[in-house]
Amino acid sequence: MQWTEEFSREQICQNGICEVVYPGEPPLQPGVSYKLVIEADTNKSSTEDTTGGLGFKLIELDEAEKVKEIAQRIGEQDLSDKLKALALADLYAEYELIAEAIETLEGLKQEEKIAPASRLLGELYRRIGLVLEAEVQYIEAVKLAAAAENREELAAAKAGLGEVRYSRGAREEGVALLEEAKAIYEELEDLQRVGELEERLAELTNISLEKSDNFNVML
């Protein structure tokens, strides 16, 4: 299936945000992978972006109804806006509705931000390959968790930040952050997370050793 339409910037962009509403024809089918490709009159195309996870699927109708019902129940609960946003984002993420989850958390005001929300936002950005955006959120989560003395969230945020830093080439810093996260989980006696991080650190150490073995030295 292909759908093509031409728009001018004036038609679809306001206040720096460009939006297009799909007309519904041809109808999209649940479970089918789709990808939106944008081509500009400058001969640039979104296909030049090598970031993974930029396609999308429609969820099945019964799942969509279930999500709507749970979201309605969350909205009716006596919770603060920030806790409702976190609960909704968790729900959307569970059903792979990543865009909706990100939009929900990004809608929080600065004074409403809490460590779990920023950490989850970092995880969501990382899941779709936007590591720079993920890094910003993990850094914010570390600050918020430290200020709230929330050790569990601090460990989770440091672990996520460590993964991002390692993937961006700051390997020593990444490993150090993962070690810090592991130490906190040891304090909390969370043996499952300790074991997971030990495995991950061993994996990263092996990768580093393999890369080192690939160098030849001539004297």
How far apart CA 149 and CA 154 sit, in angstroms, is 8
pLDDT of res. 200 = 96
Please, are residues 67 and 91 in contact by the beta-carbon 8 Å criterion? yes
Strands (E), the chain: 13-14, 17-18
Please, are residues 100 and 92 in contact by the beta-carbon 8 Å criterion? yes
Residues 27 and 70 in one domain: no
Is 156 domain-assigned? Answer: yes
Total number of domains in the chain: 3
Residues 108 and 121 in one domain: no
Please, are residues 45 and 122 in contact by the beta-carbon 8 Å criterion? no
Residues 136 and 204 in one domain: yes
Q: Tell me which of 112, 147, 179 is where a domain ends.
A: 112
Residues 105 and 194 in one domain: no
106: buried, middle or exposed (CB in 10 Å: 19+, 13-18, 0-12)?
A: middle
pLDDT of res. 132 = 95
Residues 86 and 30 in one domain: no
> pLDDT tens-digit profile of 143-190?
999 999 999 999 999 999 999 999 999 999 999 999 999 999 999 999
The candidate with the shortest Cα–Cα distance to 108, out of 82, 90, 83, is 82
How far apart CA 77 and CA 84 sit, in angstroms, is 8
Domain range for 6 = 1-58
Print pLDDT tens along the chain (219 aa).
Answer: 677 888 887 888 887 667 788 787 888 888 787 777 778 778 777 677 665 556 777 888 899 999 999 999 999 999 999 999 999 999 999 999 999 999 999 999 999 999 999 999 999 999 988 999 999 999 999 999 999 999 999 999 999 999 999 999 999 999 999 999 999 999 999 999 999 999 999 999 887 655 555 545 444
pLDDT of res. 54 = 62
CATH number at residue 196: 1.25.40.10
Is 219 domain-assigned? Answer: no
Residues 3 and 37 in one domain: yes
The candidate with the shortest Cα–Cα distance to 173, out of 188, 163, 183, is 163
Q: Tell me which of 58, 76, 103 is where a domain ends.
A: 58
Is 218 domain-assigned? Answer: no
